[in-house]
Amino acid sequence: MPIDPITISIIQHRLYYVNAEMSEAMLRTAYSQILNSSRDFSIGIFDGEGRLISQADNLPVHVGGLPFAMAEVRRRFAARIERGDVFLVNDPYYGGSHLPDITCFVPIFAGLETEPIFWAVNRSHSSDIGGSAAGSYNPDATEIWQEGIRITPLKLYRAGCRDDDLLHMLATNVRHFDDFIGDLNAMIGSIHVGAKRLAELIDEYGADELRGAIEHILDASEHQTRADISTWKDGVYSGQCLLDDDGHGAVNIAIRAQVTVSGSDIHVDLSGTDPQVSGIVNSSYANTMSAVHMAIAYLTPSGIAKNSGSFRPVKVTTKQGTLVHPFAPAPVTLSTNHPAQEIAEAIFRALEGSCPDRVVGGWGRRFRIALQGKDPRTSRNFIWHLFHGRPGGGGSATADGWHGAGELSSGGGLKFSSIEVAEARFPLFFAEHEFAPGTAGAGKHRGGFGSSVRIRLETDAPVSGVTAGDGAVHAPHGIAGGRSGTPHRYHHVKAADGMSTVLPTKATRLKFAPGDWLHIVSSGGGGYGPPTARGKADRLKDVEEGFAVG
């Protein structure tokens, strides 16, 4: 039965709003700050064949990876999927990205059918997933078991009945029992909201009409993506991006992308990438695929609905044993930031000659610090994660980069929280949190500026710290003739003697004395186009605003 095109349009809009409602439910009910404040989660709707058909305003690095987790659940449970089941997975070697990202799934059935017609899915970042470092970024790890608990695809609910023993075991293996349960409840609550709305949609349109509409929706996104790619210049291009190190001796690790543009098809070949390493910068296959799709999504018009249809024109080749397709049990925790960003940026650099009006200068990289100690005001232990001091975004053909917008994997989608709240809740004093002049790469459109942060520790006992990040050696690259920004400069300044030491990007067991300072200047983004092409008005404005361009 042919479906009228208007019904298809309406079904696509309805699916979008189901996603939006699920996101809203998640945002409002999640416990941990990384979810309710920083929005580190993604929502999607899949069809019965495991294809992503709709997603809301999500984290770019999550979306392309969800279909791999979905495929793994469907494969392992094949004929054992029942009404009322809820599935969980986090294992990167079973379709997950990295262990902190937990994905949960609920199947939705039409009438008496035995196969689900839809799946509602939520992927959320847990503030802790166990393992040997609080917060789960453990740069010492050389095997995945040191990174946290591995959840291979499993049923948390069987036919509507929750497995409380299993839940208790999982929550016991992470550091914040209540938060973990609270966040998981919020995730499951959100997919049940989706399930309810999707059931209404089935009531209204019937399964056959919906299935037909889904084909059209996927085809439409494919068609739009292809129409856009076919305006790019054909050719075989290559680009590379370097990671600083893995924290275990490997340095200047290269991600190499050879990209073939042919008509409306793109083939991304990553097999020239360096071999896998001991440390946490390996990327699971699903995460690598997600990074490639993120890159293509960033290059094509933002109005195209992102779904399995928009992924179709892209073919990806990897070689097992490389950084971007490691053999188990390589550790992978940093991968959703790095090398996900470097995979995308290697593709951008390759395509500079194919679609120069689309590529952007390099974005600053993630460089996180977690501090752990005792709060003298409350005598309670505290763990604090640095979300402030964001680096700048890259310049583009149309605009300067965004100041302090963060890393490419979230594309400005994560918020940092109030300094006043941080000071009221943690024994920290912020002397500065501003844009950092001199950090951005020059260009016709310069990069966005990084940030400058100075924090004093107000404890009366030493504080321990863990870092996890990259970009202290390699700066965000310029593109199309633009200049690079500056690398991160994180310093530990001792109260006792004023001595300043550079903080490494991947370190555990750092010790800070009471009154010590963190001095942070994060990367500015890479510039776009030759600096000589920068307009006079823009240059004058930079001077007026107090931004010297490096």
The three state secondary structure string of 270-325 is CCCCCECCCCCCCCCHHHHHHHHHHHHHHHCCCCCCCCHHHHCCEEEECCCCECCE
CB of 257 to other proteins, least distance (A): 18
Q: Following CA atoms 55, 58, 60, 63 in sequence, which dihedral angle do they give, to the nearest 10 degrees?
A: -40
Contact between 267 and 292 (Cβ < 8 Å): no
Residues 6+ apart with CB under 8 A from 169: none
Please tell me the distance from the alpha carbon of residue 475 to that of residue 504, in angstroms, as a whole number.
Answer: 15
User: Binding residue for other proteins (CB under 8 A) from 36, 152, 173, 464?
Assistant: 36
Q: Which of 74, 454, 488, 489 binds other proteins (CB under 8 A)?
A: 454
In what helix (H) or strand (E) does residue 122 lie, and over which residues does it extend? strand 118-125
Binding part of the chain for other proteins, among 87-95, 401-409, 471-479, 486-494 by CB under 8 A, reads 401-409
Q: Which of 82, 416, 481, 539 binds other proteins (CB under 8 A)?
A: 416
Contacts (CB under 8 A) with other proteins, residues 224-283: 224, 227
How far the first Cα of the chain sits from its last, in Å, is 62
Q: What residues between 531 and 550 interact with other proteins by CB under 8 A?
A: 544-547
x-or-dash pattern for other proteins, window 301-330, by CB under 8 A? -xx-xx------------------------
Tell whether residue 126 is a contact of other proteins (CB under 8 A). Answer: no
Q: Which of residues 420-439 bind other proteins (CB under 8 A)?
A: 420-421, 423-424, 429-435
Q: Which positions from 339 through 398 interact with other proteins, judged by CB under 8 A? A: 358, 360, 387, 390, 393-394, 396-398
Instruction: Name which of 5 and 263 has its Cβ closer to other proteins.
Output: 5
Q: How far apart are CA 352 and CA 250, in angstroms?
A: 28
Which residues touch 399 (CB under 8 Å, ≥6 apart)? 445
Select the residue interacting with other proteins from 242, 405, 475, 520 (CB under 8 A).
405
Rounded Cα distance between 493 and 520, Å, is 10
160-189 binders of other proteins (CB under 8 A): 178-179, 182, 185, 189
8 Å CB contact between 210 and 11: yes
- By C-beta, is 424 or 502 nearer to other proteins? 424
Measured N-to-C along each axis, helices 177-205 and 207-229 cross at an angle, to the nearest 10 degrees, of 110
Q: Which is nearer to other proteins, 189 or 329 (CB)?
A: 189
Binding mask 455-494 for other proteins (x = CB under 8 A): ----------------------------------------
